[in-house]
Amino acid sequence: MRRSCGIVLGVAALAGVLACGAARPGATAGPRSGVIYQANSLYHRIFVERDGDVVTLEFGKRRAPVFQSKVDLGDLSRHLADYTQLVYCGLLYQPQPRRALLVGLGGGVIPRDMRAYFADLEIDVVEIDAEVLRVAERFFAFRQDPRLRVHVADGRVFIKRLLRRDPVPKYDLVILDAFNSEYIPFHLMTREFLTEVRGILADQGVVVANVFQNNRLFHAELATYLTAFGKCQVFVGANSVNAMLVALGPAVAPLSPNEAEEHAELLQEKHRFTFNLERIARQLRTGIVPLRGTQVLTDDRAPVNWLRAQEAPLSEGSGLPGGQ
């Protein structure tokens, strides 16, 4: 599927998208700078830019001050995007995932990082664009292995095929991080799609969805996740307009802010993350609920263009129940 999103605070939401990434040591040897690769794929206009050790992946017809992935080749453990840290909020609910599914590859930062911290974790990545996979392997520090596999397919089609298996594979952690040059493909935002995702989620599993928090569409997304899963909590970005919607499996309970920080402290001590998971835990906002009258997104009714044009701040303590 498509890439992730992470926009620097101050850049208008929906102006572009980010994703994950890292560059393979030696893939673009030398101190070259500027655009080192560009191509038109079936789905994207792709740019790879280098500035010293930092490599950036961008999508779009025109290059903009936003990105899909950004990586420091001199230190692949360094996080250069807020959302690649924020996505770890899912571990506060499911601290020992055995199987993970990621929809959207980008430069491969999130799966590569998860693989480093959880050696036994089996990771399936679904990426719609074969050229994005080639770029991740050529310019970014991304490698497949027997426990980290990339499937070139549409994310929704891939999940539909999983649902036809007997037994249906179940995942402890599902990360939805699929973006194009504008936003999340609409067929990956609807109630029907999320119902399909629920079908592959383990009872003790969680779904983490990377979205934007500063536009009216956010409330429709949250309302849709609440409708599909019944339980959904929100973590907001500290230095970006990103937010993570965390939808909970039937055996997973919502967290209070104190519980989130306690869980984060234990996980930080165990895994020694290169970022501060306790800070991530403090970005939980239990009072955020959809605005009253917000419509759920469905396959046959897509008010996306209208919603995206109606920028609105997050609303706490008003609207639909849930999201606690």
Instruction: Write the DSSP symbol of residue 67.
Output: B
Residue 319's pLDDT band (boundaries 50, 70, 90)? very low
Q: State the pTM of this model.
A: 0.84
Would you state the pLDDT for residue 133?
Answer: 96
Q: What is the pLDDT of residue 53?
A: 86
- pLDDT tens-digit readout, 99-149: 999 999 999 999 999 999 999 999 999 999 999 999 999 999 899 999 999
Catalogue the active-site residues.
177
Q: How far apart are CA 181 and CA 264, in angstroms?
A: 33
For residues 77 and 85, is the Cβ–Cβ distance under 8 A?
Answer: no
Residue boundaries of the structural domains of the chain: 82-309
| Sign of the torsion formed by the C-alpha atoms of 228, 261, 104 and 309 | positive
Dmax of the chain from CA atoms?
55
pLDDT for 7 beyond 70: no
**Comparing 300 with 273, which gets the higher pLDDT?**
273
Which residue is associated with the tokens 């800070």?
279
pLDDT for 61? 61
Q: In terms of pLDDT, which residue wins out, 249 or 322?
A: 249
Contacts of 69 (CB under 8 A, 6+ apart): 3, 4, 18, 19, 20, 21, 22, 56, 57, 81, 106, 107, 108, 109, 140
Say how far apart CA 104 and CA 129 lie, in whole Å.
9
Give the CATH superfamily of 82-309: Vaccinia Virus protein VP39 (3.40.50.150)
Among 10-19, 118-127, 305-314, the least confident range: 10-19
Smallest Cα–Cα separation from 188: which of 176, 198, 205, 204?
176
**Mean per-residue pLDDT for 288-314?**
72
Q: How many whole angstroms separate alpha carbon 291 and alpha carbon 320?
A: 7
